[in-house]
Every structure is written in structure tokens, then in C-alpha cells.
Amino acid sequence: MAVPPVPARPRITGRVTLLAVVAAAVPMLSAGAAGWLPGPVALGLGVGVTGLCAAAVLVRTALAIHRAEGVFAACRGAGLVGMGALATALTALVPWWSPPGVAGWLTAGLGVAAGCHVLGAALLPGTAPTWAVRLRRGFDGAGLGVGLGFAAYLVPLDGRSRPAALPAVLIAAGGVAIVTVLVLRARPRPVPALWCGAGAALVLTTLAGLAELVALGVTGPAVPLLGLGTVAGLAATVAGGARRDLPPPPVARHDPDQYLAGCPLLAVPAAIGVIAAGWRLVAGPGCDTAAVIFGLVMVSVLVLREVLVVRDVRRYAGRLRVAEAHFRSLVAGATDLTLVLDEQLTVRWQSPAAARLFGWRDEEVVGRAFGALIHPDDAADALAVLGSMLAAEPAGGPPVLLGTRLRDGARLWRDTESTICDQRAVPEVAALVVHVRDVGERRHLERTLHRLAYLDQLTGLANRRALMRDLLALRRRAGQHGTLLVVDLHGLAEVNDSRGREVGDAVLIEVARRLRALVGGEDVPARLGGDEFAVLTRESAVPAYALATRIVQALGAAYRLPGAEVVLHTSVGLAELAGAADSGAVLRHADLARQRACQLGRDRVEWYDPDVEIHLHRRMELERQLLGAAGRGELDVVFQPVAGLRDGRPAGVEALLRWRHPRLGTILPGEALPIAAALGITAELDEWVLDTACRHLSTWSCGDGAFWLSVNVGPRELLTARFPERVTGTLRRYGLAPERLVVEVAETWIAEDVPAIVAALTGLRRLGVRAALDDFGSGQTSLSHLRRLPVDMVKLSPALLGGDPEEPAGGGPAVIEVVVSLARRLGLDIVAKGLETPARLARAAAAGCRYGQGFALARPATAERAEAYLDSHRAQRGP
């Protein structure tokens, strides 16, 4: 029974008690059969006590089930079987009591016991799920019993072979038949119910035998012998009805009464009854009133059962019509086509959706081989899969997925995906069921997505993923031969900011077009992202370098677009496939070479080598540590004196930045300032140098008010609105006169924005601060700019001094004399830089330069040594 287990001690105790009673009843009945006790007394004591004990055990079981889980049907079944056992015990006492009309009392007791056993068996767990099913099975059993009883009544022609207690026999036959049908038609059939049903059938049979013996007047040893069968039946009912620790029954696959209409349960007994009635009419005296009544009862039972059968048939027919309508609506509106194939792979049926989905008509497909619909390139594999399924046992295994191309009604091939189910084990199907889905749109989308995943959408070039795929394939196919070029564009961000994203995108598209025109047929141009491109070529080092040079020239040409003309610069890094362990390392090496080319200048091509990586690692480490160098006390300022070339007297000093790295040593400005510019901290460093230099100058006691201090200022700080205010605050803080400060601006910055530089220098001169044009002659500034720039001093580039004194006329000296002459006319002081040798010193003096700066005069030194140098020169020449 489907009841969770409850404490087992009461059940064990009840069964032990019953076994003890049965063990005591058997000797008692045996004594009655031997004549030691009167037969009715032995029967009453043995069967009565056993029945009472069985009733107590079953009722106690019913109450325990009800208290534990409240399973009402289960507890009613056990309780009714217990009431049947109680009625059996009382019926067994009737012969001992011997009231008037003993046969009637026995028949009445048998009827009560039969009713209780039938109802109890119907309510036992697992025998029948609903009352409707119980009622139908009761009619089946009743009809079976009545039919067999009618045949038994009619066969004896003389009437002497009929039972004396006919009502009791009929009641027992009906009860046994009903209980047998209930138990045997349970699906799945529970074993406890079988025990209970067998015991009930034995009890009813023995009670009917007892009624027959009493009706015949037999009171000898036969009566206790029937009691032994009754005791055995009671023990069997307790064994089956008292089970309450059973696992739940499995879910039935089918409706247990779906075959009710087609089950010929009453055909045999009805046929026997008809044959017996015909035999009696032909060979006997005919049918008496009892036989007619008996026949009417049998016919009534059969008619009532047929009425129920017709009702079931109509109900199932309605269900089939609804299910068929649902099935047709599903298959007609489904997005999948369903085919049914026999074992010869012939199409036996196709769903109505075939015409809508594939344009197939039934006469074109049904009856044809399924292989004729498959593309020839896919047919072999598909038929092999289907053959393997047919060769296996029809066990209904998991579905098989098959991708093929099928011909549609328009003679076109479609990409399909078929799910094949082996339904040969199902008798109603007995075939392979194929569900076909058109996946052409999905396959097209997959191919499109695959193509888009390896394509740059703007330029149409391969993207980074495609480049890495082709790079891996090239390494596998060609070994270690080939070169990777990484191209970086400079100036595209400015184009996007100044002219808009549309112009920037147009430039990128034109860059892609030029790259395609330059590379070979087997080369792979790609866009890595943003303004980075790459070219994968199978060429060796020399042809690859030539290709990189052509790329620099082609991409450096002007981009003439509607309403705009753009000029870009490039940096190209190259790496050979042989120099890396894997594809990722090749790309990293090429990118490192590209970064090195970018550091060394624009429009350069650089090869990767281990030194490049060392330089880049040094650069990255310096970038990481420069941000906090001032806070860690690693920055320092050195001073290089500027002296008069006529008298050698110091006229001023230039403050120069030094980074005292604790591990790498002294970092010169030529390496530190580009890093600061990349980090955007040039203004902060210039401000720190200005403050530190002014603080040292305020503590020196050398010179007079004409002794100046010059500092280098970057364009970003110079052009800020707060720079004049910052300079004024610094001078006021250290008590320095404005004219003692000279702000140096490099010539290479002037050409970028001359009006802004002029305005900034004019504002400084209003404060009294002097300005100097540094490294004049190293850039593209024309001499005419000297008239426009509000400067007080020009510091000449060492390149203007030329080389040796024997240099031919028309070289450096001629240029420097022109510059010095123009500066004198404009009233500017001239400072010659780079005086490293006495020859250069003499040349600068001969050209008319008033001041000089270089190692030949004095080297850069710390603040203390610079102060000592200035004091010593002042002491030599006097105040």
C-alpha cells in the first residue's frame, strides 16, 4: 500500500497473536474432525476465535494507518476486511448455536461476509484507482459469477445434482468472482492484495460449503475440516490486509480500464449459460421459474455491463476525436516536418505541414525512399546513421541528430536538421519517426556571424582574432618563416577631435585601401583596433623591411577628403616568426618594436631584438616611478654657469633637472622629460625646478642684481593662465627681483603656436621677467621671428658653431655671424651653448657672442659647488 512506514511493534504483536490463535485453532478443529469434540463446537471455537483475532488485527491496522497519515481508502479497506473476518467468526458460531432456520442464518452471515470482503478488496491500495473502476470491475465479477452459476443450475436435468443451499452457493460464487476480478485486474498487481483476495475467496468458499453441509444435515467430521480452510483463509487475509509498510506503486503507463470495452471477460460464461439453456430446452423438461429468474438476472447483469461498455466506448471515442484534433492542429501548424519511415527507409507518412514547409505533396514523397530526398554528398553518412539505428535493437534509445540537405518541392537544396526517434518498439508505430527542421536561415546567420567575428566592420580588413588565427596557421604551414608588421598611426586622435569622427573613419577606410594596394596576394592586412594596423607576410627580413618602408611612405601621404586634408605619421614594428615561441609572442614582439619606433620618432621602422624589450622595460619602470620621485626626494637641480666671453666673469646660471634614481643612477633631462611629457606632469616638474632654483639663488651671496637664473619652461605650463601668477608668487616668496629670472623657451615649440607664445612671453615681460629663445638654429624658426618674439636673450644651438677651425668658408661661422649681427641690431644678448672645446670657445668669441655656456667654461654642479665656483670667481676679479 502507498503508505509511509509506521512503528512496526504493534503489527508484529498482532501477527504473533494471530499465529498463536491459529496454532491453537488447528488442533481444536483437528480434534473435532477426529470425533473428540462435537463438530459444531470445534468449528465455533476454532473459526470463531480465529475470526475475532483476525478482525482485531485488521481493525487495529486500519486505525493505525488512519492516525499516521490519514489515508482514508487504505484504512477502510483493511477495516472492511476485518469486518468480513468478524462476520465469518459469527457465521461459524451458527451451527453450534443451532437456531431455527439454520440455513437462513448461514446464508445471511455468508452474505455479510461476502459483502465486507468484496468492499474491502476493492478499497485495498493498488486494486482500483477510482470508484468508477471499482464499480465496473464489480459488475464484471458479478456477471462472471451469475453466468457460471446459471450454467451450473441448468446442466443437471433431474435436479438432484443441484446444491441444497443454492442461495449461499450463488452468493459465494459472486463474491469469489468479484474478488478475483478486482485482484487479478490490478495493474501493477500488488502481492498483499493477492494474499488478501485469495484468503477472502477461500473463506467464502468454505462458508458456502458449510451452508451446503448444514442444508444436507451433515454434522460429522466434514464440518471441522471445512473450518481448517476457513482458518487458512482468515490467516491469508490478515497477511495481505495488515501490510502497511509498502513502497508507493509505480505510475501506470496506461489507463487501467482503457481496454475494458474490448476485454471478453463475460463471453465464456455467457456462452456456457446460453449453451446450457439450449441443452435444457432441447433435452430436458424445460426451464422452470427459478431458471427463468436466474436467466433474467444474468441478462440484466450483462446488459448493464454492456451499457457501461458503450459509455466507455463513447467516452474513449470522444477522447480520441479530441486527441486527433489536437494532433492535427499541432502537426499542421508545427515548424517541424514529421516523417514515418519503415525498416526499408521508405516514407510511409508525412505530416500535413510538408506542403507548407517544403512544398512536398503526398504523392511525391509517400512511398519513395528517404535517401532519394537527401543531397548526394550527404546521403552516404545519413544512410549509414539510419542503418546503424535499424541494426540495433528497437529499444527506444535516445534520439539521433542528423544534419543533411534535403530537396524541397521547388527542386532546391535546403539545410535541415533531423531528429530521428526509433519507435519500432511501440506496436502502434513500429517505425522510425523523423522530425525535420529547416535550419537554412540559422546556418546563414551562423556563417554571417562567423564572418563578422573575423572581420573589422569599418575597414573590411581582418580583425585581431582573424590575424591570430592566420598567424597560427602560417606558423604550422610554413614553419618559422614569415614576418609580422604592426603599424601605428599618429595624429588620428587629433583628427577625430578637430574634424569629427566621420572624417576619422574616412581616414581609416583610406588607410585600409592603401594597405590592400601594398600587400601581396598571400599577405594578411588587419586592423588591431583604434589606430593600430598589422600586416602578416610570408616574406623574409629584407622584403618585409622594404614593405614596411613602402607602408610608411604610402600612409604618410596626404589624405584628401571632402572639405579636409589630413596628414598622418606612422611607426612600424617588425618581428620575425622565428624569434618567438608562439603566436602571442610574435605579436608582442612586433608591438614592442612599434613602441620603440614611436619613442625614437615618427615615420620610423624598427626591428624587434632583446635590447628593444630592455629599453621598453626601462621606460615603463621610469614611467611608474617618476610620478612619486619628488615626494621620495629623488629629484635634484644642478646649475651650469653662463660666463662672459671677454672677461670670463659669471653672469648667470641655468637650472637643470636631475633625477637621482636609487638603482638606475642619474637620469638626465633628455630621458626624463619625454617621460614626463607622456605622463602629463611636465608642468609640475617645471614648477618644482623653478621653486627649488629660486630658493637656492636666494641663499647665495655672489654677484649683484644683474646675476640671473634661467629655467626651462614647457609650452603647456607657459600657456596656462596661472603661470605668471605662479612666477610672481615664487619670486616674492624668496625675495628675488623679477629681472634676475630668465624663462627659456625652446625654439622647436615656437612654430607650433607663435601667437600664443608671443602673448605669454609679453605677459612675463610686463612682470619684469626676462625671456630667452633656447637652442636657436636647431628648428625651423626663421630669422624674421626674432622681430616678433618678445625675448631678451638668444641661446644659440651648438650646431651653429660648426666643427673644426679649418672648416671651409660658407659653413657654420658664416651663419653664426649673421645671427649675431641680427641679434645685436635687435638689442638681444647672445649666449653660445655647447662650448665643449677651446676651439668652439674661440669661435664663439670671434663671432661676437657676449656670453658662453659649456664644459670649456664650467660643468653643471650642485647648488653648493656652484655657489663655491661663483664665490671663487668673484674673489679673483673683485667685487
Q: What is the tens place of the pLDDT at every residue in 583-608?
A: 888 888 888 888 888 877 788 998 88
> Rounded distance, CA 92 to CA 85, Å?
11
Is 472:536 a contact under the CB 8 Å cutoff? Answer: no
Q: What is the mean pLDDT of residues 211-215?
A: 77
> Rounded distance, CA 51 to CA 199, Å?
12
Dihedral over alpha carbons 395, 399, 404, 408 (to 10 degrees): 90
Is 848:820 a contact under the CB 8 Å cutoff? Answer: yes
In the prediction, which pLDDT does 877 show? 52
Q: Is the pLDDT of residue 10 over 50?
A: no
Contact residues for 149 (Cβ-Cβ < 8 A; gap 6+)? 169, 170, 173, 174, 294
Burial zone of 138 (CB within 10 Å; 0-12 exposed, 13-18 middle, 19+ buried):
buried
SS (H, E, C) 627-647: CCCCCCCCEEEEEEEEEECCC
Q: What is the mean pLDDT of residues 364-382?
A: 88
> Grid coordinates representing 674?
619625454
Is 575:593 a contact under the CB 8 Å cutoff? Answer: yes
Percent of the chain topping pLDDT 70: 83
Q: Is the pLDDT of residue 639 over 50?
A: yes
Q: What is the tens place of the pLDDT at every residue in 641-669?
A: 999 888 888 888 999 988 888 788 888 88
Q: What is the mean pLDDT of residues 762-775?
A: 87
DSSP string over 111-157: HHHHHHHHHHHHHSTTT-SSHHHHHHHHHHHHHHHHHHHHHHHHS-S
> Rounded distance, CA 345 to CA 418, Å?
14
> Grid coordinates representing 65?
494507518
Q: Is the pLDDT of residue 158 over 50?
A: yes
In the prediction, which pLDDT does 429 show? 82
Domain 334-445 grouped into CATH 1.10.3720.10: no
> Rounded distance, CA 7 to CA 69, Å?
12
**pLDDT band of 7, cuts 50, 70, 90:** very low
Q: What is the mean pLDDT of residues 85-108?
A: 78
What letters, b where the CB count within 10 A reaches 16 and e where it falls short, cover 597-613?
bbbeeebbbbbbeeebb
Q: Is the pLDDT of residue 250 over 70?
A: no
Q: What is the mean pLDDT of residues 482-486?
A: 90
Omega prior to 188 cis, within 30 of 0? yes
**In this structure, which amino acid lies at residue 215?**
A
Q: What is the mean pLDDT of residues 516-521?
A: 88
> Rounded distance, CA 576 to CA 607, Å?
9
Closest CA to 420 of 401, 392, 395: 401
Least confident of 360-369, 444-453, 760-769: 444-453
Q: What is the mean pLDDT of residues 134-143?
A: 75
- Percent helix, strand, coil in the chain, to 5, is 55, 15, 30
Strands 650-661 and 708-712: parallel
Q: What is the mean pLDDT of residues 853-873?
A: 86
Please give the helix or strand (H or E) that residue 833 lies within, else none.
Answer: strand 829-833
> Grid coordinates representing 216?
444436507
Better-scored residue on pLDDT, 126 or 689: 689
> Grid coordinates representing 601?
620618432
Q: What is the mean pLDDT of residues 243-262?
A: 48
Please give the helix or strand (H or E) that residue 341 lies within, else none.
Answer: strand 336-341
Closest CA to 170 of 202, 145, 191, 189: 145
Q: Is the pLDDT of residue 286 over 90?
A: no
Is 785:777 a contact under the CB 8 Å cutoff? Answer: no
Percent of the chain topping pLDDT 90: 6
**In this structure, which amino acid lies at residue 142?**
A
Q: Is the pLDDT of residue 630 over 80?
A: no
In the prediction, which pLDDT does 117 show? 80
> Rounded distance, CA 631 to CA 634, Å?
8
Highest mean pLDDT among 207-221, 327-341, 384-398, 530-544: 530-544
Q: Kindly give the residue spans of alpha helices, DSSP state H, lying in 735-862.
A: 747-750, 754-766, 785-788, 812-825, 838-847
Q: Can 334-445 and 625-877 be said to share one CATH topology?
A: no
Other residues' Cβ atoms within 10 Å of the Cβ of residue 516? 13
In the prediction, which pLDDT does 140 show? 76
Is 119:135 a contact under the CB 8 Å cutoff? Answer: no
Q: What is the mean pLDDT of residues 224-229?
A: 80
Burial zone of 614 (CB within 10 Å; 0-12 exposed, 13-18 middle, 19+ buried):
exposed
CATH superfamily of 457-608: Reverse transcriptase/Diguanylate cyclase domain (3.30.70.270)
In the prediction, which pLDDT does 6 show? 43
> Grid coordinates representing 849?
657672442
Least confident of 190-194, 420-424, 546-550, 846-850: 190-194
Strands 413-422 and 741-746: unpaired
Q: How far is CA 376 from the centre of its chain?
A: 37
**In this structure, which amino acid lies at residue 241?**
G
> Rounded distance, CA 378 to CA 406, Å?
9
DSSP string over 134-146: HHHHHHHHHHHHH
> Domain 625-877 is of which CATH architecture?
Alpha-Beta Barrel (3.20)
**pLDDT band of 803, cuts 50, 70, 90:** low
**pLDDT band of 152, cuts 50, 70, 90:** low
Q: Is the pLDDT of residue 806 over 50?
A: no
Mean pLDDT of the chain: 79
> Rounded distance, CA 248 to CA 809, Å?
118
Residue ranges of the domains in the chain? 9-248, 304-332, 334-445, 457-608, 625-877
Q: What is the tens place of the pLDDT at every residue in 424-479?
A: 888 778 888 898 888 888 888 888 887 788 888 888 898 888 888 888 888 777 55
Strand partners, 336: 437
Is 261:312 a contact under the CB 8 Å cutoff? Answer: yes
**pLDDT band of 500, cuts 50, 70, 90:** confident
Is 552:570 a contact under the CB 8 Å cutoff? Answer: yes
Q: What is the mean pLDDT of residues 510-537?
A: 90
> Rounded distance, CA 381 to CA 849, Å?
94
Q: How far is CA 667 from the centre of its chain?
A: 52
Contact residues for 495 (Cβ-Cβ < 8 A; gap 6+)? 503, 504, 507, 566, 568
Q: Check the CA dihedral 355-358-364-370 and report its sign.
A: negative
Strands 432-438 and 564-566: unpaired
Better-scored residue on pLDDT, 687 or 99: 687
Contact residues for 814 (Cβ-Cβ < 8 A; gap 6+)? none
Q: Is the pLDDT of residue 579 over 80?
A: no
Residues present in the chain in total: 879
Q: Is the pLDDT of residue 408 over 50?
A: yes
Ramachandran area for residue 147 (φ above 0: left; ψ -120 to 50: alpha; else beta): alpha
Q: What is the pTM of this model?
A: 0.45
In the prediction, which pLDDT does 547 show? 92
Q: What is the mean pLDDT of residues 576-583?
A: 78
